[in-house]
């Protein structure tokens, strides 16, 4: 804000007025009005800006087959002012039931990764490309990956979230999330660990936490953590020796 500068100038004016015959009040009032009119505008309320997007998502019917089978939409969760935003592919059964992304076993692992980075889950923002759980045949267990058409239909909502939050870094979790964000599918061996860009925002690609639950290899877990160390460096966060040597 410009208020401290205004106080300094007014103090200087008082010194000048004590040694001059000019009327003191007029010049001081005029200067005060000038400073007040040029004050910096307040920061936007990002949570408030997200609310109408959330409302539109909650009543979205663009994919009728998903509307018929969803319990509720899963918009996103976390800090609307976050510097770091994680993007997954789609809600699973647990997320569909609770209305929050990444709350199952994979979500618990993601939370542990976030906390080891030095953040709480509430410090970051977490969302998916798809806001509805992909439909499954009645009685079938598990989850399916969203189709390219489903993701492209839903992507505008995620774009709005990113535009409002304006994170400094995005992290795409898994090849399906990469396809939703960037429009192409590649092997994680080729994609992860290198910086990409989504609409000008730095994008780090890493394995989905569910992959680490299936593959308990220490070398694969270390790859994810090395990706997160790059994220911390891009965010200009201090990194401890313990963090540098950490294995998930």
Q: What is the pLDDT of residues 50-97, one digit of tens each?
A: 999 999 999 999 999 999 999 999 999 999 999 999 999 999 999 999
Residue position matching structure tokens 């294995």: 247
What pTM does this model have?
0.82
Q: What is the pLDDT of residues 99-130, one digit of tens each?
A: 999 999 999 999 999 999 999 999 999 999 99
How far lies 36's CA from each of 1, 3, 10, 86, 238, in Å? 10, 8, 13, 40, 38
Q: What is the pLDDT of residues 34-52, one digit of tens each?
A: 445 555 566 789 999 999 9
Burial 148-172 (b: 16+ CB within 10 A, else e): eebbebbeebbebbbebbebebbbb
Mean pLDDT of 213-221: 92
Which of residues 94 and 27 earns the better pLDDT score? Answer: 94
């Amino acid at each position: 804000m410009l208020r401290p500068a205004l106080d300094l100038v007014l103090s200087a004016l008082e010194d000048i007025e004590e040694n001059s015959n000019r009327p003191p009040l007029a010049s001081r009032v005029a200067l005060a009005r000038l400073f007040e009119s040029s004050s910096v505008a307040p920061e936007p309320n990002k949570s408030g800006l997200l609310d109408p997007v959330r409302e539109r998502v909650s009543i979205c019917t663009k994919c009728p087959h998903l509307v018929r089978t969803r319990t509720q939409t899963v918009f996103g969760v976390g800090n609307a002012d976050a510097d770091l935003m994680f993007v997954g592919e789609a809600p699973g059964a647990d997320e569909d039931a609770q209305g929050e992304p990444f709350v199952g076993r994979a979500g618990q692992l993601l939370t542990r990764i976030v906390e080891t980075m030095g953040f709480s889950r509430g410090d970051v923002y977490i969302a998916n490309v798809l806001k509805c759980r992909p439909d499954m045949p009645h009685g079938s267990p598990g989850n399916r990956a969203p189709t390219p058409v489903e993701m492209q239909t839903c992507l505008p909502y995620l774009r709005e979230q990113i535009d409002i939050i304006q994170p400094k870094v995005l992290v795409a979790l898994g090849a399906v999330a990469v396809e939703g964000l960037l429009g192409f599918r590649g092997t994680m061996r080729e994609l992860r660990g290198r910086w990409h860009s989504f609409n000008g925002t730095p994008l780090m690609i890493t394995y989905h936490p569910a992959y680490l639950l299936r593959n308990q290899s220490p070398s694969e877990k270390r790859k994810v953590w090395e990706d997160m160390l790059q994220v911390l460096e891009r965010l200009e966060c201090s990194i401890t020796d313990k963090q540098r040597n950490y294995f998930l």
